[in-house]
């Protein structure tokens, strides 16, 4: 009898170990059916592209209020579109898939020249519509590291192949020294966003990088600890600030409406919040001539390989 | 009735288990224990293993899905579907238990999955995670077994949801492999256990079987049997006791045989002395007393012839007839004691005379038949024994059986002499105690037969007469010592 109860308790234990059966119907994993086609939206959203100045997640977080504001004003859904590189965004603007885009200065210069990318507005930051390229090194790098010349034979991080501040300007500096980045630096790599380039330097992954001053200020303001890990050793002449552009396919009425909304944001309390999250005082009209300096720099450097 | 049920079961069990040998019982116990233990351990290990591995699978599902969600965020935001697809495939390739992985965008559209062409129906809606969920795991019933499906929101649900399904097929395989190993071990241990048990029972039962064989031999009378003491345990003690007992029995038997031999020799001596004494008295009676009486008779005749007085003559005749009667009685007495004809002419003649004498003295018809006794004579002691046996038998018939007819038959055949004395009297129960002297007489003739290596059988029933059967072995060759009266002279 004792043996019997022992066996019974074993069986009971065994049955206790089985998790409760879900009551859901059986799903046939091998019975594959075609996925339903993407249902076309009833209302075509306004697609806004943001170039990867900062990481995709950071972009999505910071532009949420601004896009929500646009959607509310236009009474139309607004969809954020991001791509890894500037040139992909330019392609979307050219094809008209996106209506509005926040692009980099050099991307505007390139797009304007290639397919007539149109300026819509420009952000004004700290009262200025210019920005700079900052040459940064790790805070613990030798004290005599004071210019790009001191980075010879080191590892250098570029942001985007097309970036004005992150690629074109440092290439210009190296060319001024009579060399080319491939020979001058031991190794270079692309981070595809400025905040990642800052982090690459802060973590010692790169011995130097050139970044957008706006992103740098924004990132250091948000994370002061990051500022302690890096040191700015050079500041470029001013360039026209990265603008807001529209695709040449956008109807003039929509362009005017968008322009009016952006310019009026600073006077609207809700709009002010949207401006604040992207670190902008207000949006202003800007003339194409503001980008001549960048255009000249690009011409001086020559075509850069992507 | 219920309380009797276990006993009923026990009886049924014992009718089977009790009928098999000790060897089988021990083998059964060992095999039963090993199998019980093996199966118990297997069941328990299997259950514990499934429980532990299921818990691990759930943890793994959460960790894989969380990792996938974190790494997919930027890829979804920049719409890098190819990299996303690669990420899913790598996730599946690097985690053996991952049955599928897919990513649903914020609008509920599957934007990348690992199923290849097509997508299983109902899977998309089977699980979901709210934007503030850490994860949400459910167990799905699928055609391939249970699947731990975990949903993790990507970028707080703004970039969609990552879904990962971990199949328990791998676990089942592992558990089945372990179960198989355990069962195999159980079988192996059973084989080893049975082999060991067979050896053990051989060691245990060998002395017992030897004891049983020795006890049977002792039962048949072979007291020389001894068993070796194999081990210093209870069975060894039993063997020792058995040997002591057998030795004591053998000694007792030896003493008994010695006493028996002495007794037989004594009895034989007594019988021989009795026969000698009878012979001497008979001879004395015949030679001396008879001669005296005959002389007396002759004297009486002469006296009566020479006597003139009638009265004297008459008186002498009377005395002569008394003397003649005394001579007759002396003759009868001598014959009763030991007929000289037995010594002189042999058993057949002695029996013929004795039977005739019996018929003359008792109202009894006696048939005497003898076969194979003419020719060479039997050994003297056999002749005497047979004569005395027939004498005792017929005396009993005449005195107690109230029979009208008796028959005596002697036959020598196949190395033995058989004698049968039958009557048609009232019979008796051979087992029941008769009168003491009667029993003593029967005992005497039985003793005579057995002293000569023969045996005596009495068959009788009340009202059915009686038969006395005796058989004494003799050699078929002519007995050189079978001269008249040789044995007892």
pLDDT tens digit string along A20-43? Answer: 455 567 888 888 888 877 666 667
Identify whether residues A115 and A76 lie together within a single domain: yes
Q: Which of residues 65-124 of B touch A (CB under 8 A)?
A: 73-74, 77-80, 99-100, 109-110, 115-123
| Total domains, chain B | 3
Looking at the structure, tell me whether residues B137 and B252 fall in a common domain: no
Cβ contacts (< 8 Å) between A17 and chain B: which residues? Answer: 47-48, 50-51
**Taking CB atoms and an 8 Å limit, are A16 and B142 in contact across chains?**
no
Domain that holds residue A140: 133-236
Residues A288 and A274 in one domain: yes
Same domain, B169 and B33: yes
pLDDT of residue B3: 54
Q: What is the DSSP string of chain A?
A: -HHHHHHHHHHHHHHHHSPPPP-SPPB-TT-EEPPPP-PPPSSPPEEEEE-SSS-HHHHHHHHHHHHHHHHHHHTS-EEEE--SSHHHHHHHHHHTS-SEEE--HHHHHHHHHHH--EEEEEEEBTTBSEE-EEEEEETTS-TT--SGGGGTTSEEEES-TT-IIIIIHHHHHHHHTT--HHHHSSEEEE-SSHHHHHHHHHTTS-SEEEEEHHHHHHHHHH-HHHHHTEEEEEEPPPEEPPPEEE-TTS-HHHHHHHHHHHHHGGGSHHHHHHHHHTT-SEEE---GGGGHHHHHHHHHH-----
User: pLDDT band at residue A99, thresholds of 50, 70 and 90?
Assistant: very high
pLDDT at residue B169, as a whole number: 85
Contacts of B296 (CB under 8 A, 6+ apart): B323
Q: Is the pLDDT of residue B220 over 50?
A: yes
Residue B299 lies inside a defined structural domain of this protein: yes
B5 in a domain, yes or no? no
Residue of A nearest to B145 (CA): A26
Q: Chain B: nearest CA to A83, how far in angstroms?
A: 4
Question: For residue A176, what pLDDT is reported?
Answer: 92
Q: Which of B7-11, B367-371, B424-428 has the highest mean pLDDT?
A: B367-371
Rounded (5°) CA angle B397-B398-B401: 50
Q: Nearest residue on chain A to B52, judged by CA atoms?
A: A17
Q: With respect to residue B184, please indicate whether it lies within any of the assigned structural domains.
A: no
- Which pLDDT score, from 0 to 100, does residue A19 have? 45
Is the pLDDT confidence value at B263 over 50? Answer: yes
Question: What pLDDT does residue A18 have?
Answer: 37
pLDDT for B364 equals: 87
CA quadruple A149, A154, A159, A161: dihedral sign: positive
- The pLDDT assigned to B484 comes to 39
**Distance in Å, alpha carbon of B200 to nearest chain A alpha carbon:** 24
Residues B368 and B486 in one domain: yes
pLDDT tens per residue, range A71-88: 999 999 999 999 988 889
Q: How confident is the model at residue A177 (pLDDT cuts 50, 70, 90)?
A: very high
Question: pLDDT by residue (tens digit) across B272-306?
Answer: 888 888 888 888 888 888 888 888 888 888 888 88
Flag whether B238 is in a domain: no
Q: Which of B176, B199, B218 is the last residue of a domain?
A: B176
- Could A29 and B120 be called an inter-chain contact, meaning their C-beta atoms sit closer than 8 Å? yes
**Nearest-CA neighbor of A245 among A212, A278, A281, A291?**
A291
Residues A139 and A270 in one domain: no
Q: Does residue B112 lie within any of the structural domains?
A: yes
Residue that finishes a domain, picked among B154, B176, B198? B176
The predicted-structure confidence for A231-241, as pLDDT tens digits, reads as follows 999 999 999 99
Is A24 domain-assigned? no
Specify the pairing of strand B98-104 against strand B110-113. Answer: antiparallel
Q: Contact at 8 Å (CB) between A106 and A164?
A: yes
| pLDDT of B65 | 94
Q: State yes or no: pLDDT of B424 exceeds 70.
A: yes
> B3, B38, B45, B47: which to substitute to probe chain A, counting the most A Cβ within 10 Å?
B47
- A269 CB-contact burial (10 Å; exposed 0-12 / middle 13-18 / buried 19+): exposed
Residue B473 has pLDDT above 80, yes or no: yes
In a domain, A23, yes or no: no
- Same domain for B479 and B353, yes or no, is yes
Confidence of residue B480 (pLDDT cuts 50, 70, 90): very low
Q: Is position A85 within any domain? A: yes
Q: Indicate whether B60 and B150 sit together in one domain.
A: yes
Q: Are residues A154 and A198 in the same domain?
A: yes
Residue A7 in contact with partner chain B when CB distance is under 8 A: yes
**pLDDT tens column, B343-370:** 888 888 888 988 988 888 888 899 999 9
Q: How confident is the model at residue A6 (pLDDT cuts 50, 70, 90)?
A: low
pLDDT above 90 (res B165): yes
Q: What is the CA radius of gyration of chain A?
A: 26
Q: Is residue B353 part of a domain?
A: yes
Predicted structure pTM score: 0.60
B chain contacts of residue A57, beta-carbon cutoff 8 Å: 73-74, 77, 155
pLDDT number for residue A39: 66
Q: Is residue A281 part of a domain?
A: yes
Mean pLDDT rounded to a whole number for chain A? 87
Find the residue in A nearest to B38 (Cα): A7
Claim to verify: residue A185 and residue A277 sit in the same structural domain: no
Model pLDDT, residue B487 = 37
> Which of A219, A236, A253 is where one domain is finished?
A236
Pairwise pLDDT comparison (A305 vs B120), residue with the higher score: B120
> Could you say which of A214, A236, A258 is where a domain stops?
A236
Q: What phi and psi values does residue B4 have, to the nearest 5 degrees?
A: -85, -15
- Residue B451's pLDDT is 84
pLDDT at A167: 92
In a domain, A59, yes or no: yes
Give chain B positions within 8 Å (CB) of A55.
Answer: 74
Confidence category of residue A14, pLDDT binned at 50, 70, 90: very low
Contact B143 A27 (CB under 8 A): yes
Is 50 exceeded by the pLDDT of residue B384? yes
Residue B457: pLDDT over 90: no
For residue B316, the model assigns a pLDDT of 85
Looking at the complex, report in whole angstroms how far the Cα of residue A31 sits from the nearest Cα belonging to chain B: 6
Chain B touched by A37 (CB under 8 Å):
no
B143 falls within a domain: yes
Residues A159 and A65 placed together within one structural domain of the fold: no
What average pLDDT score do residues B245-259 get? 91
> How close B192 gets to chain A, by Cα (Å)?
23
How far is the C-alpha of B469 from the C-alpha of A52, rounded, in Å? 137
Domain holding B449: CATH number? 3.30.565.10
Same-domain status, A166 and A232: yes
If asked whether residues B354 and B326 sit together in one domain, one would say no
Q: Over range A145-152, report the average pLDDT.
A: 87
CB contact under 8 A, B141 and A30: no
**b/e B61-76 (16+ beta carbons within 10 angstroms → b):** bbebbbbbbebbbbbb
Residues A141 and A231 in one domain: yes
Q: Is A142 a residue whose pLDDT tops 60?
A: yes
For residue A36, the chain B residue with the least C-alpha distance is: B109
Instruction: Please report the number of interchain residue pairs, chain A to chain B, with beta-carbon separation below 8 angstroms.
Output: 106
Q: State how far residue B247 is from chain A, nearest Cα, in angstroms.
A: 47
Q: Are A227 and A249 in the same domain?
A: no
Query: Same domain for B331 and B353?
Result: no
Please report the pLDDT score of residue A20 as a whole number: 42
Q: Are residues B35 and B152 in the same domain?
A: yes
Asked if the structure places residue A33 within a domain, the reply is: no
Contacts of B61 in chain A (CB under 8 A): none
Say how far apart CA A91 and CA A102 lie, in whole Å.
Answer: 13
- Owning domain of residue B58: 23-176
Residue A205 pLDDT: 92
Q: For residues B83 and B151, state if they share a domain.
A: yes
Query: How many structural domains comprise chain A?
Result: 2
Q: Mutate one of A7, A15, A22 to test the B interface: name it (highest B CB count within 10 A).
A: A22
Q: pLDDT at residue B235 above 90? A: no
| CB-CB contact of B33 with B192 (8 Å) | no
The pLDDT score that the predictor gives to residue A156 is 95
Give me the residue from A29, A31, A56 closest to B78, CB to CB.
A56
Question: Which of B35, B53, B70, B74 to probe by mutation at the A interface, max A CB count within 10 Å?
Answer: B74
- Return the residue of B nearest to A5 by Cα: B40
Tell me the per-residue pLDDT of A281-303, one tens digit each, with 9 for 90 and over: 999 999 999 999 999 999 998 87
* Residue A222: pLDDT band with limits 50, 70, 90: confident
Residue B291: the pLDDT is: 86
Q: Which one of A24, A40, A45 makes the best mutation probe of the B interface by having the most chain B beta carbons within 10 Å? A: A24
Report the CATH number at residue B82: 3.30.450.20
- Closest residue in chain A to residue B37, using alpha carbons only: A7
**Of residues A105 and B480, which shows the higher confidence score?**
A105
Question: Which pLDDT does position B488 carry in this prediction?
Answer: 36
A52 touches chain B (CB under 8 A): yes
A14/B100 CB distance under 8 A: no
B5 inside 8 A of chain A by CB: no
pLDDT of residue B149: 93
pLDDT of residue B482: 41
The verdict on a CB contact (< 8 Å) between B40 and A52 is no
DSSP letters for B363-380: S-EEEEEEES-SSSPPPH
**Nearest-CB residue to B47 (from A17, A52, A84):** A17
Contacts of A31 in chain B (CB under 8 A): 120-121, 143
Are B320 and B446 members of one domain? no
Do B379 and B482 sit in the same domain of this protein? yes
Q: How confident is the model at residue B43 (pLDDT cuts 50, 70, 90)?
A: very high
Domain annotation covers residue A34 = no
Looking at the fold, whether B483 and B354 belong to one and the same domain comes out as: yes
Q: Point out the least confidently predicted range of B158-162, B353-357, B374-378.
A: B374-378
Q: What is the mean pLDDT of residues B330-352?
A: 83
pLDDT band, very low/low/confident/very high, at A17 (cuts 50, 70, 90): very low
**Position B5 confidence tier, pLDDT thresholds 50, 70, 90:** low
Residue range A277-281: mean pLDDT, rounded: 89
A111 plus A253 within the same structural domain = yes
Task: Decide if A9 is inside a domain.
Answer: no
β-pair partners for B411: B371, B418
* Position A221 pLDDT exceeds 90: no
Instruction: Choose one of A236, A251, A272: the last residue of a domain.
Output: A236
Residues A186 and A59 occupy one common structural domain: no
Mean pLDDT of chain B: 85
Q: Which of B475, B479, B473, B465 is nearest to B379 (CA)?
A: B479
ipTM above 0.85, yes or no: no
pLDDT band at B477 (very low <50, low <70, confident <90, very high): low
- Judged by CB atoms closer than 8 Å, whether chains meet at A38 and B46 is answered as no
d(CA B480, CA A74): 159
Interface test with A, best of B13, B69, B77, B122 (most A CBs within 10 A): B77
User: With an 8 Å Cβ cutoff, are A24 and B79 in contact?
Assistant: no
A282 and A218 together in one domain: no
List the CATH number of the domain containing A120.
3.40.190.10
């Amino acid at each position: 009898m004792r043996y019997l109860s022992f066996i019974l308790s074993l069986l009971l234990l065994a049955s206790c170990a089985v998790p409760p059966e879900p009551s859901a119907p059986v799903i046939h994993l091998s019975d594959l059916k075609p996925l339903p086609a993407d249902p076309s939206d009833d209302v075509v959203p306004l697609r806004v592209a943001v170039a990867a100045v900062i990481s995709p997640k950071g972009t999505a977080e910071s532009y949420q209020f601004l896009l929500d504001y646009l959607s509310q004003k236009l009474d139309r859904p607004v969809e954020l579109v991001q791509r890894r590189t500037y040139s992909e965004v330019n392609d979307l603007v050219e094809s008209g898939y996106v209506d509005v885009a926040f692009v980099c200065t050099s991307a505007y210069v390139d797009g304007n020249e290639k397919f007539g990318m149109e300026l819509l507005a420009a952000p004004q930051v700290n009262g200025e519509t210019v920005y700079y390229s900052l040459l940064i090194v790790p805070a613990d790098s030798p004290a005599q590291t004071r210019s790009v010349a001191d980075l010879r034979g080191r590892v250098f991080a570029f942001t985007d192949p097309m970036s004005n501040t992150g690629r074109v300007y440092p290439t210009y500096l190296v060319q001024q020294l009579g060399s080319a980045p491939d020979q001058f630096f031991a190794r270079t790599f692309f981070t595809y966003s400025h905040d990642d380039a800052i982090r690459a330097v802060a973590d010692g992954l790169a011995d130097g990088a050139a970044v957008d001053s706006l992103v740098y200020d924004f990132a250091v303001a948000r994370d002061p600890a990051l500022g302690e890990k890096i040191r700015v050793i050079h500041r470029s002449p001013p360039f026209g600030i990265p603008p807001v552009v529209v695709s040449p396919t956008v109807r003039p009425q929509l362009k005017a409406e968008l322009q009016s909304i952006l310019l009026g944001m600073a006077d609207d309390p809700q709009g002010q919040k949207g401006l604040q999250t992207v670190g902008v005082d207000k949006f202003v009209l800007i003339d194409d001539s503001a980008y001549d300096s960048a255009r000249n720099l690009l011409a001086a450097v020559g075509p850069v390989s992507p | 009735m219920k309380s009797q049920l276990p006993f009923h079961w026990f009886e049924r069990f014992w009718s089977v288990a009790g009928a098999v040998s000790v060897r089988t019982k021990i083998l059964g116990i060992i095999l039963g224990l090993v199998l019980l233990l093996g199966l118990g351990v297997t069941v328990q290990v299997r259950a514990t293993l499934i429980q532990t591995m299921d818990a691990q699978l759930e943890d793994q599902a959460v960790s894989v899905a969380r990792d996938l969600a974190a790494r997919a965020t930027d890829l979804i935001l920049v719409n890098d579907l190819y990299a996303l697809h690669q990420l899913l495939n790598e996730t599946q390739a690097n985690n053996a238990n991952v049955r599928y992985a897919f990513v649903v965008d914020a609008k509920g559209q599957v934007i990348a999955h690992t199923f290849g062409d097509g997508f299983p129906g109902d899977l998309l809606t089977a699980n979901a995670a709210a934007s503030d969920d850490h994860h949400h795991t459910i167990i799905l019933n699928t055609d391939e077994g249970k699947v731990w499906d975990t949903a993790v929101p990507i970028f707080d649900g703004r970039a969609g949801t990552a879904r990962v399904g971990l199949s328990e097929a791998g676990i089942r395989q592992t558990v089945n492999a372990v179960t198989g190993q355990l069962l195999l071990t159980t079988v192996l241990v059973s084989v080893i256990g049975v082999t060991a048990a067979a050896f053990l029972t051989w060691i245990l039962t060998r002395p017992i079987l030897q004891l049983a064989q020795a006890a049977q031999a002792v039962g048949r009378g072979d007291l020389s049997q001894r068993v070796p003491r194999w081990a210093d345990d209870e069975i060894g003690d039993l063997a020792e006791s058995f040997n002591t007992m057998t030795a004591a029995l053998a000694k007792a038997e030896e003493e008994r045989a010695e006493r028996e031999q002495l007794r037989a020799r004594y009895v034989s001596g007594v019988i021989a002395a009795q026969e000698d004494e009878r012979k001497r008295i008979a001879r004395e009676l015949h030679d001396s007393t008879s001669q005296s009486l005959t002389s007396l008779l002759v004297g009486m005749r002469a006296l009566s012839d020479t006597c003139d007085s009638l009265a004297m003559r008459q008186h002498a005749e009377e005395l002569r007839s008394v003397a003649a009667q005394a001579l007759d009685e002396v003759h009868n007495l001598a014959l009763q004691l030991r007929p000289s004809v037995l010594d002189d002419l042999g058993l057949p003649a002695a029996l013929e005379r004795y039977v005739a004498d019996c018929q003359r003295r008792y109202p009894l018809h006696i048939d005497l038949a003898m076969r194979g006794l003419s020719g060479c004579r039997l050994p003297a002691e056999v002749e005497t024994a047979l004569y005395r046996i027939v004498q005792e038998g017929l005396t009993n018939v005449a005195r107690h059986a109230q029979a009208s007819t008796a028959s005596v038959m002697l036959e020598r055949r196949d190395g033995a002499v058989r004698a049968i004395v039958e009557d048609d009297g009232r019979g008796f129960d051979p087992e029941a105690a008769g009168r003491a002297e009667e029993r003593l007489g029967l005992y005497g003739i039985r003793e005579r037969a057995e002293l000569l290596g023969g045996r005596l059988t009495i068959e009788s029933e009340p009202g059915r007469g009686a038969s006395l059967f005796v058989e004494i072995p003799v050699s078929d060759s002519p007995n050189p010592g079978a001269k008249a009266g040789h044995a007892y002279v």
